[in-house]
Chains A and B, each alone.
Chain A
Amino acid sequence: MKNKTNFNSTFYLLIIPVFIWLIFMIVIPHIELLISSFLVEDDMGEMVISFDNYIEFFSQKIYWLTFVKTAAYSIGVTLLAFIVAFPIAFYLTKVASKKSASFLILLLIIPLWVGELVTVYGWMVLLGDNGVINHFLMSTGIINTPINMLYTDFSMVIGLLYMSVLFMVIPVMSSLESLDDSLIEAACDLGASKWVIFTRIIIPYSMPGITSGSIIVFMLVIGDYLAPNLLGGKNSLWFTEQIYNNFLQTFNWNEGAAFGFLLLILSSALVWVALKLSGQKLEKVGS
């Protein structure tokens, strides 16, 4: 009996910080946001409850377009991240020696230490009209006028990919690490070609890692502000920019809160659909 009470008090002691964090940092701000998203200033300067903030979103085509573009590009970047990350993860777990693998992983992590802002500036230096790439191409005579790469969707996608790809590599690696080589040999022994081994054994086996990597990358990308703003330029039309504008440029916090909620609903819905489509369960992906 005594033991049980002891266990319970320790348990509560451990759970309290988590609860404080959840309530003060997540639940209360979200309730606050939710309430303010339904408030509108009327003609008298009083706050009244209204759906106007949401109606505004649905009635303005530019908001709609931004919303859809953000979703589509986020999905696209997630796919690209998978295409880039999978060979890296496979090489690091199955091909490279233990020693060189840990060195290469360190190389992958270093850009993260520098911070997103610095890496984004790094890409600006590389991609700009007078940047490293254009300078090199012009000095070698391959092109005469600089190629416009910065402030396009191309540079934005590059930036988003660069900052998120590691978050795909790590979970896929941990999935692949537990893949026994004898599974690949067994498939080979049963007459499977390399393509079949890849699509029927390796990919399904690493599906939990791929799914959790995809969720992280998707969430990071859809909620990112720096890369779309600095690399995508004025026409990047990223939904976080609309939220930012509402909060800090037009000072319409209520509209901003409504947009924030719409983004939350959008990203959660897309993740839910993706989980359903891939037949994965969130609990399994998280472990």
Chain B
Amino acid sequence: MSDILEIKNLSKHFDDFTAVNNVNFSVEEGGFFSILGSSGCGKTTLLRIIAGFQQESEGDVIIHGQSMKGVPPEKRPVNIVFQNLALFPMMNVRENIAFGLKRQKLNKADISFKINEMLDRVGLQGYENKKVTDLSGGQRQRVAIARSLVMNPSILLLDEPLGALDRKLREHMKVELKLLQKEIGTTFVYITHDQSEALVMSDKVAVMHDGQFEQIDTPRNLYKNPKTAFVAGFVGDTNRFELKSTADNSIVTAGGWSLRMPGLKKPANELYIRPEALIINPDDNLENVNTFDVTIKTVLFDGSNTKLSTIVKGNEEELFISLPQNAQFDGIAEGSDLKVGVHHNDLKYF
């Protein structure tokens, strides 16, 4: 598939700080691309530059192979769903969705047809004459998306549109949004600070930090093979350790915990171990596995996300271990000891 959006060496400087610093990436046509970063990392600025509301300081935005330099927002083949949705409060649902179509000077029948089709798609039939102020959060969300999608944009930009929803509804809209994107095939560029949103919905995720992209990858790769310490710490739960020394075949943490690591090449100063990478009661015959004993401090019960908070024996490093909820470990007690193992490949050091 061809690239619909290309960002080349894009930078944005404000008076004394750089919001976007030499960013490069491309998005495949029909893809769901997320930019994940904490607030203030420059992701909103980046999105506003793509939409045309802000001017880049350097670099170029290329859509369909055409540079967008000097093209005003109303002429770009992109539409944006704003963080606060920006629905027009004095118009009803139908008028909101029709707003953009009316600007295209389409005839009444075409507009009506397109609106009905869109209402159908987002499941808002029967609501067209309601005031947007009378709708629930999820419905307002759908109106905002419908209002942009009905313009048939090449790219739909979404600026944390689920941020204002409560948790339950957000989980629901996440799935709905992914299905909608699959169904209509429009390219989505989605920015969020919520890693779960990014991982669940996206084909590709870019992790942004201090105006730069740390890594662009599939959600699975991002999680399994983080390229930088920031990505390893930011995406997913993890145990992080400062390292005191690294020798050829072993790692020693600041707390004095020594782990074998054959083939360790570069000197490193941080170690990351995912809670679910730890094997409880590993088989003694397993190869390439560090085994050690821990003392269980507390059981942090959270359904399928239950963890053990433990202390590694012989040093005082704290280690969180995922606890599968499959009855096997129901008898696990606070204060008891446990044998734990971790595979070499699951030791991520930077």
Contacts and interface: CB of A to CB of B under 8 A. Distances in A.
B90 A185 contact: no
Interface in A189-208: 189-193, 196, 200-201, 204-205, 207
A182 B99 CA distance: 15
B151 A190 contact: yes
A180 interface: yes
Contacts of B84: 180, 182
A134 B100 CA distance: 53
10 contacts: A180-B84, A183-B86, A183-B88, A185-B53, A185-B86, A186-B88, A187-B88, A188-B72, A188-B74, A189-B73
Nearest to A194: B74
Given A183-B86, A205-B88, 13 more contacts: A185-B80, A186-B80, A186-B88, A187-B88, A187-B99, A188-B73, A190-B100, A190-B151, A191-B74, A191-B100, A201-B88, A205-B89, A207-B90
Contact of A190 (B53, B83, B147): B147
Interface in B77-108: 79-80, 82-84, 86, 88-90, 99-100, 103-104
B51 interface: yes
A200 B79 CA distance: 19
Contact of A192 (B51, B90, B103, B148): B103
A207 B88 CA distance: 14
Contacts of B104: 191
Interface of A: 180, 182-183, 185-193, 196, 200-201, 204-205, 207
Contacts of A192: 74, 99-100, 103
Nearest to B159: A182
Contacts, number: 56
Contacts of A200: 99
A191 B103 contact: yes
A189 B104 CA distance: 12
Contacts of B73: 185, 188-189
B200 to A, nearest CB: 26
A192 B250 CA distance: 64
Contact of B79 (A180, A189, A193, A196): A189
Nearest to B98: A190
B347 to A, nearest CB: 46
Contacts of A201: 88
A191 B86 contact: no
Nearest to A183: B86
The listed residue with most B CB atoms (<10 A of its CB), out of A188, A191, A201, A204, is A191
A196 B99 CA distance: 10
Nearest to B104: A191
B103 A205 contact: no
A196 B82 contact: no
Given A185-B53, A191-B100, A191-B104, A205 B82 contact: no
B23 to A, nearest CB: 22
B68 to A, nearest CB: 14
A164 to B, nearest CB: 26
